């Protein structure tokens, strides 16, 4: 862990701030007066980002906590450190994401893209729920590609499963949306909110190199990082969404209907229970059986 001593500024916890949307959000939250807690796998890269932010905002409280979302043990250690040092948390932004171009398994034995994009953020969110401020906001970075996703829960821990990178990424983003909706039901009646979003197609390290190279020919279909951060910042800072929860926002900050699979409550609950089992955690709340209108 690095950074100055904790301050009295409102705390925003962000995963994946070494590049792209996460870096832009860290900058804007520092400008807005937040105490930033950057959760990053690559600590030296995070230190460089922190130095750059401090050059523009020398008084900003900016901290770094190591977190490898592909390792459940790392997520647990990170959550313990964050809860001990930085509660209450007013913003939790699950921003980090990746896609593996070949079939790889995490250290815990789960397909790597799913482990990093869903299981890590799921566990982090559950472990930090007790450290959230009463009016906290949780923001999950999803993607429009979730419309093409299908859950294959029986294949997540299968090292011999058939693998396609595009489908693995779509499945993980579908899981992000389903997680958001299922969590919103569990938070019903509280002031804590949770929403997810599609940031647009952003010229970041997640895009194939060849597509990044032709970005000028495709603009405005491909956003730069500044434009790609707009919806995340809207959900983080705008008072207009203060009481909105369980929604999927597009790159224009508009609420959209998620895919039919994402809105399926039985599917959401199957994913939730499987995630609890895989992460070896007990449920915090029981979801109501009544049909949800949040999705």
Model confidence over 99-130: pLDDT tens digits? 999 999 999 999 999 999 999 999 999 999 99
Per-domain residue ranges of the chain = 11-279
pLDDT of residue 266: 98
Q: What is the DSSP secondary-structure string of 43-88? A: HHHHHHHHHHHHHH-TT--EEEEE--TT-HHHHHHHHHHHHHHHPS
**pTM of full prediction above 0.85:** yes
- How many Å separate Cα 95 from the centre of its chain? 4
How far is Cα 90 from Cα 12, in angstroms, rounded to an integer? 6
pLDDT in tens, 53-102: 999 999 999 999 999 999 999 999 999 999 999 999 999 999 999 999 99
Let me know: does 92 contact 187? Beta carbons within 8 Å: no
pLDDT of residue 292: 39
Q: What is the mean pLDDT of the chain?
A: 89
204/244: higher pLDDT: 244
- For the stretch 134-160, what's the b/e string if a residue is b when 16 or more beta carbons lie within 10 angstroms of its beta carbon? eebbbbbbbbbbbbbbebebebbbeee
With vertex at residue 41, the alpha carbon angle to CA 173 and CA 202, rounded to the nearest 5 degrees, is 45
Let me know: does 199 contact 251? Beta carbons within 8 Å: yes
How far is Cα 32 from Cα 239, in angstroms, rounded to an integer? 13
Q: Which of 34, 147, 163, 169 is catalytic?
A: 169
270/201: higher pLDDT: 270
Closest listed residue to residue 84, CA positions, set 183, 4, 1, 16: 1
Residue 225's pLDDT band (cuts 50, 70, 90): confident
Instruction: Judge whether 147 counts as a catalytic residue.
Output: no
- In this predicted structure, the answer to whether residue 240 has a pLDDT above a threshold of 70 is yes
Burial of residue 240 (CB within 10 Å: 0-12, 13-18, 19+) is exposed
pLDDT in tens, 144-182: 999 999 999 999 999 999 999 999 999 999 999 999 999
Handedness of CA 29, 198, 14, 205 (dihedral sign): negative
Cis peptide before 88 (omega within 30 of 0): yes
Q: What is the mean pLDDT of residues 211-234?
A: 66
Which CATH superfamily does the domain covering 11-279 fall into?
A: NAD(P)-binding Rossmann-like Domain (3.40.50.720)
Q: How many CA atoms, within 13 angstroms, populate the side-chain half-sphere of residue 43? A: 10
Q: What is the mean pLDDT of residues 223-252?
A: 92
pLDDT of residue 286: 45
221/162: higher pLDDT: 162
Handedness of CA 237, 241, 242, 245 (dihedral sign): negative
187/289: higher pLDDT: 187
> Among 220-224, 229-233, 241-245, 256-260, which is the least confidently predicted range?
220-224
E strand segments, 145-202: 193-197
pLDDT in tens, 8-43: 899 999 999 998 899 999 999 999 999 999 999 999
pLDDT of residue 221: 65
pLDDT of residue 226: 77
């Amino acid at each position: 862990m690095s950074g100055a001593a904790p301050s009295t500024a409102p705390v925003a916890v962000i995963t994946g701030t070494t590049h792209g949307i996460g870096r832009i959000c860290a900058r804007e939250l520092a400008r807005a007066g937040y105490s930033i807690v950057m959760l990053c796998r690559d600590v030296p890269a995070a230190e460089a980002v922190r130095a750059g932010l401090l050059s523009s905002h020398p008084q900003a409280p900016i901290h770094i906590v190591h977190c490898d979302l592909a390792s459940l043990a790392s997520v647990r250690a990170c959550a313990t450190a964050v809860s001990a040092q930085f509660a209450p948390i007013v913003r939790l932004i699950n921003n980090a994401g990746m896609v593996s171009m070949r079939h790889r398994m995490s250290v815990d034995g789960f397909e790597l893209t799913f482990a990093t994009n869903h299981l890590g953020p799921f566990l982090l969110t559950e472990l930090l729920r007790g450290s959230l401020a009463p009016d906290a906001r949780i923001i999950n970075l999803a993607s429009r590609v979730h419309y093409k996703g299908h859950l294959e829960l029986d294949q997540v821990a299968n090292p011999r499963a058939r693998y396609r990178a595009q489908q693995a990424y779509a499945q993980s983003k579908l899981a992000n949306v389903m997680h958001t909706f299922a969590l919103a039901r569990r938070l019903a009646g509280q002031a804590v909110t949770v929403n997810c979003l599609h940031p647009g197609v952003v010229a970041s390290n997640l895009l194939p190199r060849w597509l990044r190279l032709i970005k000028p020919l495709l603009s405005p279909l491909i956003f730069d990082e500044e434009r790609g951060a707009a919806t995340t910042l809207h959900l983080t800072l705008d008072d207009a969404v203060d009481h909105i929860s369980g929604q999927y926002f597009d790159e224009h900050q508009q609420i959209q209907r998620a895919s039919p699979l994402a809105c399926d409550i039985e599917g959401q609950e199957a994913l939730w229970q499987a995630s609890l089992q895989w992460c070896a955690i007990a449920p915090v709340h029981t979801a109501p059986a009544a049909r949800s209108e949040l999705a």
